[in-house]
Chain A
Amino acid sequence: MSEATKPGIVIAIEIDDPLLANRLASLLGGIEGLLLAAPGEAADFAIVSREERSVAEPHGFDFTPRELDVLTLLAEGASNKTIAKRLGISVHTAKFHVGSLLNKLDATGRTDAVAHAARRGVIHL
């Protein structure tokens, strides 16, 4: 495949602040080879906000509120697709959160973290 026919990299902006999202979209929209994902379209990458403040966990974990949402759904056995649907985010973003959760859990060596985290929220069984 020649360079000229390569498809662009599709990037999704998943930030709650509409002003910031718009500014990013207008900045990134002008870059050749970069395509902004339409709502609902699958993207190669997603830009997510990191402003979410971490919640201090009594068990020594350091999760963002979003990660706690994801943990609760994981405890229910949800797939990435289900997590995405329930939280209104893309599958890519759901995978990103699951990955960062796994890394954090791995670092602490706490395999029972799902149950611990699920204690904080309502779990649907």
Chain B
Amino acid sequence: MTDPTPDILAAFSSATAGLVAKASPAIVSVHSHRARASGFVWKPGLVVTADEALADEGEIEIKLADGTARPASIVGRDHTTDIALLRFDATQIPPARLSSGAPALGSLAIVVAAARGTPSAALGVVSLAGGRWRSLRGGDIDARLELDLRLHHSQQGGLTLDASGEAIGMAVLGPRRVLVIPTATIERVAGSLETHGRIARGYLGVGLQAVKLDDGLGAMVMSVDKSGPSAAAGISQGDVIVGWNDEKLSGVRQLLRSLGPDSIGQVVELSLRRGGEPMRLTVTIGERPET
């Protein structure tokens, strides 16, 4: 009987090479001031890349798989989910195919990127597969996915494929680990960036300090933005917020969570203490201005 190992390895090898070759036309390099990253064509004329790997100012150039370079402009960027959307004038490049499935722990993952204009690839497994999580800056990310492979800085923004060649997300560098921003998050955030140019966040217009009360937690109003929603609602410096829509305040995190992109325009009834006396005020959540 012949040893089947060489055949299996050769078949595996040509399969991964085939998946990379199939995905690579949609992969681009993104050059910005002192920064090199990867990206992929999300929709005709639109490229998704890693926000962290994109310079804060200056020209942006996209290098395509065929070696040509095009200028690109920023449609929008969201640092909370590490997604940036760029526009360029090449609409004939077929977009990457994004899968909606969730990869299993231990399944194969291939990152297809373009380091400084040259296609590059990395192979590993999904080393962590968890549920929704919130980034340090408060971005909602649909699944916690980590890879056990090494990712170069310039490969940030590369496409992560599963073993069937479907894209499961964008590879980015976290602290000492490689993270995948899942396709569901990309579709949601890039879609919003395409339509609105930004990910809006809710705004109360107050500076808050957590304080302990006899019967729980409160948030003391240390400052009020004169042109913000809280000022319009009549909130004053020194007021202590103790409740939100009849719910007792459980902490700063609850307030952070309550001010997501969908919160704008919502009317909230705040329970306050002013000089120790209970009172209620109605605030319409505004949009946080860019600072």
Contact = CB atoms under 8 A, between A and B. Distances in A.
A74 B256 contact: no
A10 to B, nearest CB: 9
A53 interface: no
A77 B138 contact: yes
Interface SS majority for chain A: helix
A106 B146 CA distance: 14
A99 B201 CA distance: 24
B86 interface: no
Interface residues of A, number: 30
Given A123-B207, A125-B203, A125-B208, A85 B253 contact: no
Contact of A112 (B176, B201, B253): B253
B276 interface: no
Contacts of B203: 125
A21 interface: no
B170 interface: no
A79 B206 CA distance: 19
A42 B223 contact: no
Contacts of B253: 112, 115
Interface in A93-124: 98-99, 102-103, 105-106, 111-112, 114-115, 118-119, 121-124
Contact of B56 (A74, A81, A111): A81
A91 B34 CA distance: 13
A28 interface: no
Contacts of B175: 99, 102-103, 105-106
Contacts of B259: 125
Interface in B275-291: 288, 291
A79 B76 CA distance: 13
Given A102-B175, A122-B209, A115 B291 contact: no
Given A119-B252, A122-B222, A80 B79 contact: yes
A91 B256 CA distance: 24
Nearest to A113: B136
Contact of A125 (B80, B174, B176, B255): B255
A66 interface: no
B252 A115 contact: yes
A112 to B, nearest CB: 7
Interface string A34-69: 000000001010000000000000000000000000
A122 to B, nearest CB: 4
Given A81-B56, A98-B136, 10 more contacts: A91-B56, A102-B174, A102-B175, A103-B176, A118-B252, A119-B251, A119-B252, A122-B209, A125-B256, A125-B259
- 7 shortest A-B CB distances, which residue pairs? A102-B175, A115-B253, A79-B79, A119-B210, A122-B207, A77-B138, A122-B222
